[in-house]
Amino acid sequence: MLIYWNHKFDYRVLLSLATLFLAAISAPVHGEDLNIHQVAENVWMVQGVPEELSEENRGDISNSSFIATGNGVVVIDTGATAAYGRRFREAISEYTDEPVRWVINTHHHPDHTFGNSAFSDVPIMALSETRNLLMKNGDFFLKTVHERVGISSEDTVVILPSVTVEGGVKSFSGYPLKLIRFSGHSGNDLVVYDPLTKILFAGDMLFWNRAPTTPHSPGIDIWLEEIDRLAELNPAVIIPGHGPLAHDSGPIEQTRAWLVWLDSLMREGVAAGRSANALIDSDIPELLSDIPMAKFELTRSISHFYRKYEDSWWENANR
Ligand SMILES: [Zn+2]
């Protein structure tokens, strides 16, 4: 019998078998307590739990990724503690023989940068403003992480990014990555797009199945406009800053829906004279209410944004 040899099909089958195999053999080794997913032949993500920092989760709440470029590994975000950084680096060495040569911090938040000390021997790249914000807020963040995570964070220190970068296509020893500058989530967000695998490493510009955090956002309108620009990249895979990876636009749609709802809740609520507490008690729409941390983030967002919406309502009313 003649067997039609479909190269592409076989490659995919082999890749998925390899993934299963890797998942099976990765269990007993150092990465056992990390939730590692192979995203492409040379790309992996470590998925955090959709929770706030706590002793129970040891601070493992955000996503980190790594790319084996053929000439060294690029690490994207380093987790919330030194211990996580070490576990992450050990896990990387179980998946590839290539040395870690570069680290990128997508933004200054501690759950994405406090594992930096495990990578202090390699260049740690970030936007210059990200470095400045971490320098300014690092001690306060560190106190918070110690308080919430406890013993698992005990030797965590603030290690600032050592190399500042701008947006644009950057070659990592021949492997191109597009670095794109945004601001919607933290004021300074660096998104990484891999044109070879069409994977988008969105940092906290996108959340999926974990409610978005907004305390350092310069404005929901800005964030929403930037999400439209992210959508134009048309990625094959999205790795959000928190939550599972997606092979469709799920994180884009959900982050957008959450922010659109939050924005209209506050605009309409302020116009109707409703108090911040009344808005915090609002019903969350059905499609968004099941998202982990929804109530928590609604409360947090209203608490810090309400005054801003009130001010802009008064400004408009007095024109
Ligand atoms: Zn963040």
Res. 232: pLDDT tops 70: yes
Using only C-alpha atoms, the chain has a radius of gyration, in whole angstroms, of: 20
109 in a domain, yes or no?
yes
Residue 5 CA, ligand 1 centroid: distance in Å = 46
Instruction: Label residue 32 by pLDDT band (50, 70, 90).
Output: low
Res. 82: pLDDT tops 80: yes
Res. 23: pLDDT tops 50: no
* Residue-averaged pLDDT of the chain: 91
pLDDT score for 316: 87
105 in a domain, yes or no?
yes
CA torsion sign for 190, 241, 211, 107 is: negative
71 in a domain, yes or no?
yes
**Which residues form the domain of 210?**
26-248
Q: Which residue has the higher pLDDT, 32 or 248?
A: 248
Mean predicted confidence (pLDDT) in 110-133: 98
Residue 216 CA, ligand 1 centroid: distance in Å = 8
Res. 27: pLDDT tops 90: no
Res. 287: pLDDT tops 80: yes
Residue 204 CA, ligand 1 centroid: distance in Å = 5
CATH of the domain at 106: 3.60.15.10
pLDDT score for 120: 97
258 in a domain, yes or no?
no
Residue 22 CA, ligand 1 centroid: distance in Å = 30
Of 113-117, 194-198, 272-276, 315-319, the range with the lowest mean pLDDT is 315-319
Residue 207 CA, ligand 1 centroid: distance in Å = 10
Instruction: Label residue 315 by pLDDT band (50, 70, 90).
Output: confident
Q: In this prediction, what percent of the chain has a pLDDT beyond 70?
A: 90
- From first CA to last CA, the distance across the chain in angstroms is 81
313 in a domain, yes or no?
no
Which value, to the nearest 10 degrees, does the dihedral of the CA atoms of residues 81, 189, 104, 73 take? Answer: 110
What residue has token string 């209209």? 264
154 in a domain, yes or no?
yes
What are the b/e assignments for 273-306, b being 16+ CB within 10 Å? ebebeebeeeebeeeeeebbbbeebbebbbeebb
| Predicted confidence (pLDDT) per residue in 238-257, tens digit | 999 999 999 999 999 999 99
Please tell me the distance from the alpha carbon of residue 306 to that of residue 103, in angstroms, as a whole number. Answer: 36
Residue 318 CA, ligand 1 centroid: distance in Å = 35
Provide the domain count of the chain.
1
Please tell me the distance from the alpha carbon of residue 59 to that of residue 65, in angstroms, as a whole number. Answer: 16
Q: In this prediction, what percent of the chain has a pLDDT beyond 90?
A: 87
pLDDT score for 10: 43
Residue 77 CA, ligand 1 centroid: distance in Å = 11
Q: What is the DSSP string of 20-65?
A: HHHHHHHTTSGGGGSEEEEEETTEEEEEPPSS---TTTTT--S-EE
* Sheet architecture: strand order including 35-40: 35-40, 43-47, 64-68, 73-76, 100-104, 124-126, 163-164
Residue 213 CA, ligand 1 centroid: distance in Å = 7
pLDDT score for 319: 74
Residue 219 CA, ligand 1 centroid: distance in Å = 14
Residue 257 CA, ligand 1 centroid: distance in Å = 18
pLDDT score for 31: 57
Mean predicted confidence (pLDDT) in 202-222: 97
Residue 107 CA, ligand 1 centroid: distance in Å = 7
Residue 48 CA, ligand 1 centroid: distance in Å = 13
Res. 30: pLDDT tops 90: no
Res. 6: pLDDT tops 80: no
Tokens of 17: 């078998």
Mean predicted confidence (pLDDT) in 175-198: 98
pLDDT score for 318: 81
Res. 297: pLDDT tops 70: yes
Residue 18 CA, ligand 1 centroid: distance in Å = 33
